[in-house]
Amino acid sequence: MRRLLENGANSSFVSVAADPAVPIAVILKRPQDWIGKPERARHAHIPLPRDLFAPEWKNSSGVEFGDGEAIDALLAEIKAAARLGEAVPLIDGVAVKGRQRDVLSPIDGSVIGTVQEGDAAIVAAAMGAAQAGFAGWNARPVVERAAALERAGDLIEQNRARLIALLQNEGGKTLDDCVSEVREAADMCRYYAAEARRALVPRALSGPTGESNELRYRGRGVFVCISPWNFPLAIFTGQIAGALAAGNSVVAKPAEQTPLVAAQAVKLLHEAGVPPTALHLVPGDGQVGAMLAAERTVAGIAFTGSIEVACLINRALAGKDGPISPLIAETGGVNAMIVDTTALPEQVSDDVIASAFRSAGQRCSALRLLCVQDDIAERVLTMVEGAARELSVGDPRDPATHVGPVIDAEAKGKLARWIADMHGDVRFRWDEERPLPAQGTYVTPTIIALDSARELKQEVFGPVLHVVRWRAGELDALLDDIAASGTALTLGIHSRIDATVEYIAARLPHGNIYVNRNMIGAVVGSQPFGGSGLSGTGPKAGGPHYLQRFALEQVVTINTAAAGGNAVLLSEEE
């Protein structure tokens, strides 16, 4: 059917070639002859990548990975900028010194820097300093706050080599993932700047003559931003940018494993014009996060991480005396992909490999559960296994590497125990006879066969894919099994039947549904990211409703009749 549709189209080469009225010379005419001058090669109404979101905000710049010269230039840039071994200072306004700890690389376990971690005294000092800095930042006009964020986006792009070096050495990220993350961080800053100008400016409301009504937005106070290690730049920066755009001051606690990336991001935000009094960095482990969440003066918390920690933060906020503070939480999920018999196996294979194994499976959106209709299951799974076998596992600083290390020894041990416990169900394991680096926290891609989707009750955060088969007539039961996990973050659907796609999307409340494509890499402004149920509270990051959650609403009503009446109405002509 697909070939009939494609080849039967009036514009198809097959259709034109069969028309005796069309000369062969016309069919074989070179594209260069059609186009003529180089400036005519691009359609005038198709924007360049930089202008894709214009005029609201400018898109970040990428790298053409098929261009050898571009890759060589980027690698040279990274090498020149890779000054590791630095210490993470505590931010201005916090004079107390904390415990110093070495930062280890997941690539080989080497020490790449030191960090002064927070404690009770530092948490209290940081919150006090942020409270003191709130009023000044909140008083700045929206356009000034937005301009600072736009400058931060520019600085992030200008410092991409330094940031990529840190992401690789501290986060164990491959080159393509690093480039994408730098772009996302810059996009977050620019997008929230544009959204602040659109959504946070005063807005006139309707009302009777003799009064004016205006809706205004203002910051809530001190926002605590707690971010994960899997996107230590993009999520860290995005949370902070959202809170700052709305007029809040921020105390940011990065993941314990990735303080160096966080410190660099804060440095760039300060350089862009965010005052040190409005943004403070407090590195540390989960106990530091718990202390921040328990602070009485917290006006709100933005959190991305595990479901378990999100629940703990929610309880801490609920049990605290004082104003009721919002929690903006993004967590993970048992993300599934449903494949029916109309899907294209080659496309399914490509999308499964990217969704399950890119970033070593360490994405909130990563594919955890592949559900393939039984009629094509063996063919699809054989193709997926063959593609997985061709992946390169190793040092992420090598551009040829597809799968780098997991974040630390604890994560590696947890994954190893899960695979060992599921040993009898392991269908595929990447050939471990191929040499891996002698040091580092590497877990090779693994595929585990399950009898039912209900068997997978928790998120397995790594390069481990679980597969189940389903038969015709069992779709509703499968959807019930997927929903039973209580998570609803990302969902993939591979089907050529529109009615099937719409039926599944209507049945499941997942925040992001991807059809006939991979299910990772949500783009700021195009695919706002976030789930429901156990997968998040909303609103979606990188979306048009995010900033309002960080702000307080205020309505100012003025009796204009007290000043002599409605001057506008009195001046109206007949």
For residue 53, being part of any structural domain is answered with no
Query: Is 574 among the domain residues?
Result: no
Pair 136, 189 in one domain: yes
User: For residue 552, is it within any domain?
Assistant: no
Q: Are residues 397 and 308 in the same domain?
A: no
Residues designated as active site: 330, 364
21: pLDDT confidence band, cut at 50, 70 and 90?
confident
* 341, 453: one domain: yes
Q: Per the domain annotation, does 77 fall within a domain?
A: no
Please state whether the peptide bond connecting residue 539 to the residue before it is cis, i.e. omega within 30 degrees of 0: yes
Co-location of 118 and 37 in the same domain: no
Which has the minimum average pLDDT: 10-19, 50-59, 178-187? 10-19
Count up the domains in the chain and report the number.
3
- Whether 58 is covered by a domain: the verdict is no
Do 347 and 480 reside in the same domain of the chain? yes
- My answer on whether 147 and 284 are in the same domain is yes
Spatial distance between the Cα atoms of 376 and 381, rounded to a whole number of angstroms: 9
What is the bridge-based pairing of β-strands 512-515 and 369-373?
unpaired
- Do residues 287 and 256 make contact, with C-beta atoms less than 8 angstroms apart? no
Q: Are residues 137 and 266 in the same domain?
A: yes
Task: State how far the Cα of 444 lies from the Cα of 435, in Å rounded to an integer.
Answer: 11
What digits encode the pLDDT tens for the residues 108-132? 999 999 998 999 999 999 999 999 9
Q: Which CATH number characterizes residue 363's domain?
A: 3.40.309.10
pLDDT at 570 exceeding the cut of 70? no
Measured distance CA(126)–CA(132) in Å, rounded: 10
60 contacts 51 by C-beta, under 8 angstroms: no
Chain segment 226-258, per-residue pLDDT in tens: 999 999 999 999 999 999 999 999 999 999 999
Q: Is residue 364 part of a domain?
A: yes
Is 32 a domain residue? yes
Q: Are residues 300 and 340 located together in one domain of the fold? A: no
User: Containing domain of residue 177, as a range?
Assistant: 84-201+217-331+542-546
Q: Do 113 and 145 belong to one domain? A: yes
Encode 84-113 in three state secondary structure.
CCEEECCCCCCCCCCEEEEEECCCCCCEEE
Question: Six-digit token pair at 329?
Answer: 């939480």
Lookup: tokens for 130: 């942020």
Mean pLDDT of the region 407-427? 96
308 and 416, same domain (yes or no): no
The Cα angle at residue 34 between residues 29 and 36, in degrees rounded to 5: 130
Same domain, yes or no, for 466 and 516? yes
